[in-house]
Structure formats: structure tokens, C-alpha cells
Amino acid sequence: MLGQLVLWVKIAMFTDHVMGYACFCADEASCGSPRWIGRGLSCVCIKRKGAYERICMNLTPVQEERLQRLKHRMKVYFDPSRRDHQEALKALWHATYPDQELQGLVSEQWKDMGWQGRDPSTDFRGAGFISLENLLFFAKTFSASFQRLLKKQCGNRATWEYPFAVAGVNITFMIMQMLDLQSKDECAFDLLYCVAFVVMDKQWLDKNASYMDFNEVLKSTRTQLERELVLDDVMRIEDMPSYNLLC
């Protein structure tokens, strides 16, 4: 319970803005009952490097705007008739396979990337347009890690591998659940997504998993992320031990 709360507060802190923080009191005994302070002023006491500390911050207009933007982003469905969505899908193809021409927004080629069928848009249903943005961010920002996972280059792989792109959508969905749609910053979300993807692949290999075990692997990925996020020294996504898996 406390772990959950601390996790939530920390994610809110990475993001630098919140609708209202849960406020803990300064000793462990009374930490169980968070209190909502409301919008604007955000305060929280957390244990940091062994001592309890109270952190307060104001919600600036910029932070407010960021929060609204991300909330909006999470509600956008993939719409195959929208020009900008089509462009994003093409951009994903080019970032993934720079040397291969894309034959169409609906094409057999998409299966190579680990979509379930010829039309990736049917797989976005779970998480929406943001799952495409997450994949694109990952492909562009950590292209070596992205290619390594895509091509399944590392380790002793299963005969029944997880489909790469679909797993990406599942990870977006998992992080949206973890953040509880309450508070987050766009960049923290994108970074956490990339960390989650490489952690998932690592657990996949460590467990010698096959696609039948995907749910289990996703669950233990979440546990691992939560464990790292509540570590005393982790004050940013970049501080998470697993961030080092990215290159």
C-alpha cells in the first residue's frame, strides 16, 4: 500500500506536476493516510536517503498545460483516415526499416514488424495513437536498442517469440495503467516506455520464455519497474538501474 503510494508520488515528481498530491506526515506511523491537498499547491513527504522530507511545489501554467496535453494524448484513438496519423505510421516504418520501401498503410510487410495482420491500426485499439508515438519515440531515440529488440538479436530465443510491435502496444497499455492516468509528463512517459521495453525483453530471455508466457513476463516487468521506481536514489527515470539497458 505504501509502496504503491510512494510509486505514484514519485512518478508524479518525475513529471513535475500533479493535480493534487497525497500528503504523508513526517513519520512512518502516520504515513498510511494520505490527504489530498488539491490543485495548485502540491506537497508530499517521502523517505529519501533515509530521512523524511517534505516537498512542496506549485503547479505552474506550463506544467498544467503539459498535463492537459498528455491527458489528451492518451485519449486519442488511431484514426486511419487522419493525415497526421498516416504520416506517423509511415514514419514508424521508415524509422524501423530505413532501407525498405513501404508498399501501403495496409500491407503484408507490417507482419514482419510483429503486427498481427496487414493493418496495424487494428492492433492500436488497446492503447490508441499514443502506442504508435511510443514506438516511434523508441525507434528514433534509442535506435540501437530498438533494432536489437526488433531483430531479436540477443540471447537464446524461443521458437514462439513475442510479436515485437504488438508487445509495444501492450507495454504502452501497461504503463498507462501504472500511471493510473492521474499525473504524468510526456517525456517521463516516453522514457519509461523505452525502459519497460528493454526490461521486458531481458525478462523474456532470463525466463527462457515463449509467447505463451507473455502475460507472466509482462507482469514481472511491471514488478521490476515498480521495485526500481521506489528505490531511494531514483528521482528520475534516468536513475532507474534498468535505464542502463538502453543504448
Contact residues for ligand NAG, defined by CB under 6 A: 123, 125-126, 158-159, 166, 169-170, 173, 208, 215, 218
Min separation Cβ 131 and ligand NAG, Å:
8
Residue (of 70, 78, 76) closest to 179 by Cα position: 70
Closest CB to ligand NAG among residues 139, 166: 166
Question: At its nearest, how many Å lie between ligand NAG and the CB of residue 120?
Answer: 10
Q: What angle do CA 108, 73, 19 make, to 5 degrees?
A: 150
In the block, residue with C-alpha cell 497499455: 173
Min dist. Cβ of residue 114 to ligand NAG (A): 11
Distance CA 6, CA 3 (A): 5
Between 59 and 194, CB nearer to ligand NAG? 194
Is the Cβ–Cβ distance between 240 and 229 less than 8 Å?
A: yes
Closest to ligand NAG by CB, 180 or 232: 180
Shortest spacing between CB 237 and ligand NAG, in angstroms:
22
What three-state secondary structure class fits 75?
Answer: helix
* C-alpha to C-alpha distance for 8 and 88, rounded to whole angstroms: 31
Shortest approach of ligand NAG to residue 158 CB, angstroms?
A: 5
Rounded least distance, CB 160 to ligand NAG, Å: 8
CB nearer ligand NAG, residue 127 or residue 229: 127
Nearer to ligand NAG, 20 or 168 (CB): 168
Q: Which residues does residue 43 pair with via DSSP β-bridges, in sequence order?
A: 56
Output the CA–CA distances (angstroms, integers) from residue 75 to 18, 83, 126, in the order listed. Answer: 18, 18, 11
What minimum distance in Å lies between the beta carbon of 146 and ligand NAG?
Answer: 18
C-alpha–C-alpha distance, residues 90 and 74, integer Å = 21
Between 58 and 159, whose beta carbon lies closer to ligand NAG?
159
Confirm if 55 and 37 have CB atoms less than 8 A apart: no
In the complex with ligand NAG, the residue whose CB is nearer, 30 or 177, is: 177
Considering only CA atoms, which of 164, 220, 222, 231 is closest in space to residue 6?
231
3-class secondary structure, 163: coil
